[in-house]
Structure 1
Amino acid sequence: MMNVLITGATSGIGFETALLFATNGAHVWGASRNPIASPSNRIVFRRMDVTNEESVKKSVEEIWNEAVKTTGKGIDVVVHSAGYGIGGSAEDTPIDDAIAQFDTNYFGVLRVNRVLLPCMRAQGSGRVVILGSIAGRISIPFQSHYSATKFALEAYTEALRLEGGPFGLTATVIEAGDTNTAFTANRRLTIDPSSPYHDQALRSIAKMARDEELGYPPTKVAKMIYKVSQMKNPPIRKPVGLSYSLLMLLKRLLPDSLAERIIKAMYMR
């Protein structure tokens, strides 16, 4: 029986992932700034703000101890799903907004792992699954700072696997593409009305929003997260869906100049 900790667990991909693990017999602890009523007796929601070190330490330690007390062992899998996006030009986005984006999407993962990984090492095993994005392999215009956080998670995952392997730890980044969740409505815009980028930024972000609304249901991403968690030797990265797997293959094969023209045609019209 598996014990799972999921951040960002009360909505979207995180919520569907919690449901899927619970349906398959796992004990799930879902962490969120605003816990909700649990839909299953196998899911326990706990308050955690991944941008606050004290909150993370308190919550992770309580969850670990509760897992040991109720099941006789600690957390087997952690799924990092907490995150949000900002939209605006690379030039105009205020530094504070870019810092806040990294504070949640990147440093939030680090804060949780700094508390959790020593416990996993002590028990001799642990699986880290990080919700990344295709935007972590292909930078999207007017979403540069969001893409930067996801690029950072790709690098972090590669290093963590190498460092943690001798201690029984694995790490995988899930490269999700367009997905129909509240992420779209919650995207924070940093577009100055007087900016020369204003009109193009609005068009590009509107295109992103349409693609996301027509994208995969969050259950598809949840199924990939669950599948990876069950693998004996999980991969470094796993795109969600055949189309995105092919896109990542093309990214490796095509010259950068051609790949750039394709992205420009998609988002800069």
Structure 2
Amino acid sequence: MCYKAVLPFLRRQGKGHIVNISSVAAVAHIPFQTFYSASKAAVSSYSYALANEVKPYGIHVTVVELGDICTGFTKARQKSILGDDEYGGRISRSVSQMEHDEQNGMDPADIGRYIAGIVEKKKPAVVYVAGAQYKFLSLLCKLLPAAARGKIVGKIYG
């Protein structure tokens, strides 16, 4: 893993900044995107833990939790709606909503500038969420009980 290679160097120089990319799906768990949501939650959790480990060495760790970004990802997606009948069409509706959100998502250049701004900060936070609507959704998901969070995300995605 690249962290093992870079951390000794950063510790010796007494400073550094590691930026990991995650998703709002780390806290707003998307139905029919179970592995995606779980992997993003793992990246976010890893970043929080690593930040605690390396803080005494002057090393910052930041995780940027992104929302939908308008890229070629939507067209490249390999879709499977196996089981859609059993779920009453919810898989198709969920994927359709995700595709709509992605196609109308944030501009990748804006995200690049946002991340560059984070890297330039002298005292960066551990987590940043890009986009006002995603900041709001992330905050709701962190504050609300699991049942309420599930209802909100369920309404959005089928």
TM-score by length of 2: 0.90
Counterpart in the other structure of 2:86: 196
Counterpart in the other structure of 2:63: 173
Q: 1:229 to 1:266 in 2, by over 3 A?
A: same
Q: Distance in 1 between matches of 2:111 and 2:65?
A: 9
Say if 2:62 and 2:124, in contact at 8 Å, map to a contact too: yes
Q: 1:126 to 1:195 in 2, by over 3 A?
A: farther
**Residue 186 (str. 1) matches residue 76 (str. 2):** yes
C-alpha RMSD of the superposition:
1.9
Q: Deviations over 1:166-223 (max 9, x none)?
A: 1221111101101101222223334436873484212211110111100111112112
Say if 1:191 and 1:198, in contact at 8 Å, map to a contact too: no
**Residue 120 (str. 1) matches residue 13 (str. 2):** no
SS at match of 1:171: strand
Counterpart in the other structure of 2:125: 235
Unaligned runs of at least 5 residues, structure 2: none
Q: Deviations over 1:205-250 (max 9, x none)?
A: 1110111100111112112211110111111110102222222222
AA at the equivalent of 2:47: T
TM-score by length of 1: 0.55
Of structures 1 and 2, the larger Rg is shown by: 1
Counterpart in the other structure of 2:21: 131
Say if 2:11 and 2:57, in contact at 8 Å, map to a contact too: yes
Q: Distance in 1 between matches of 2:67 and 2:153?
A: 14
**Which structure's relative contact order is higher, taking Cα pairs within 8 Å and 6+ residues apart?**
2
Q: 1:122 to 1:194 in 2, by over 3 A?
A: same
Say if 2:62 and 2:126, in contact at 8 Å, map to a contact too: yes
Say if 1:136 and 1:148, in contact at 8 Å, map to a contact too: yes
SS at match of 1:142: coil
Which of the two has greater helix per residue? 2
1:145 to 35, 38, 52: 35
Q: Distance in 2 between matches of 1:227 and 1:264?
A: 33
Identity %: 35
**Aligned pairs, number:** 158
